[in-house]
Amino acid sequence: MDTDVYAVALNNTLNELRNICPDISTSFIFTKDGVVVAADEAATEATMNKTMGSLHGLQDTMASLGGLNTLLIDGAAGKLAISTVNDMYLATAAAKTADLHHIASVARVIVPTILKILDGLAPTPPDRAPSHQLIVDTLTGFFVGSTVEIDPQVLGQWAELLDRKEIGEVEIEAFSGEKTQCKAKEIGDEKIKGKGIIRIPEKACKALHVKKGELVKVRPAAD
C-alpha cells in the first residue's frame, strides 16, 4: 500500500489520540533512521529533530541495555514517553498529571493495529490481467526462437497491474480460438514500438493460424 496512506492514517490516529487524551501535548512517530513517519498537528520540526538527535545520542547506551523498549522522562511540569512500536519510535509528551505509561501502552496497541488493518486493506493484485488486441507481425529468420516481442508499454502495464517485476510469458489467442503460450520480451526495434504490434515467430503463427496484419488477443500467462 502507498506509504502516504499509512502516513495519513497514522497522522489521524495521533490526532485522535490527542483528542481522546487531552493530557497529551504532542506525539509523533519516527523510524530508527531518523525519518518522521507521522506527527500530530502540535508537533514541530525543531522538537522532532531534537528528539531524534537525543535518541541518536542514546544509541550506545540503549545497546548495552539490549535495545530500547521505552524511555520515560518525568519532569516537574510534564512527562515524555518514547517507546518502540513496530520497529519505529513513538514519542508522546503529556501533562504532569497524565498516566503516560498507560497512554504509551494504549498507543503501542493502537498503532500496530492500525498498521495491520491497513495491510489487510491493501488491494490484492488480480490473478489475470485483461487481454490486449495486438496486430501480428511475423518474425522470420534462421535465428528466430520461440519468444514473441511485445510493446514495452503493454508489458509494463501488465507488470504494474499484476504487481510483478516483469512479464516473462504470455498467452496468445487467435480469433479462431487457437491458443498458444510463448515467452515474451520487449520489442527491440524502435520503429515499431508503441504501435500495438506483437512480433510472433513464424512457427507460432502457423500454430495459431494467423498471418501478418491480423489481430490476436494477448494476455500475461498465469503464474
Partner 1 sequence: MPSKDNSDDAITTLRDSLQAIRSKKGIIGYILKAADSASVDLNDPSKIVDYAVVSATTLEEGEKLAKVFGLGDLNKVVLEGARMKLLLLARGDHRISIFMDKTVDHEAVGKDLNLA
- The footprint of partner 1 (CB under 8 A) covers 25-26, 47, 50-51, 54-55, 57-58, 60-62, 64-80, 93
Least Å distance, CB 83 to partner 1, is 9
Q: How far is the CB of 114 from partner 1 (least distance, A)?
A: 23
User: Closest distance between partner 1 and the C-beta of residue 120, in Å?
Assistant: 28
Strands of the sheet containing 36-39, edge to edge, are 36-39, 24-31, 88-95, 78-85
Closest approach of Cβ 16 to partner 1, in Å?
Answer: 21
Q: Tell me whether residue 25 or residue 157 sits nearer to partner 1 (CB atom).
A: 25
Residue 88 beta carbon to partner 1: minimum distance, rounded to whole angstroms: 16
Is 75 or 120 the residue whose CB approaches partner 1 more closely? Answer: 75
DSSP code string of 164-215: -S---EEEEEETTS-EEEEEEEE---GGGTTS-EEEEEHHHHHHHT--TT-E
Q: Which is nearer to partner 1, 58 or 207 (CB)?
A: 58
Task: Decide whether 60 or 127 has the Cβ nearer to partner 1.
Answer: 60
Q: What cell numbers appear for 119 in the block? A: 495491510
Nearest CB to partner 1, comparing residues 92 and 180: 92
51 SS3 class: helix
Packed helices 3-20 and 100-121: angle between N→C axes, nearest 10 degrees: 150
The residue (of 13 and 83) whose beta carbon lies closer to partner 1 is 83
CB-based contacts of 20: which residues, under 8 Å, 6+ apart? none
Cell, residue 131 = 487481454
Separation CA 180–CA 170 (nearest Å): 9
Sign of CA dihedral 31, 36, 39, 45: positive
Least distance from partner 1 to the Cβ atom of residue 185, Å? 50
Q: Which is nearer to partner 1, 78 or 168 (CB)?
A: 78
Q: How far apart are CA 93 and CA 54, in angstroms?
A: 15
**What number of other Cβ atoms are within 10 A of residue 203's Cβ?**
15
Planar angle of CA 21, 22, 26, nearest 5 degrees: 90
Least distance in angstroms from the C-beta of 47 to partner 1: 6
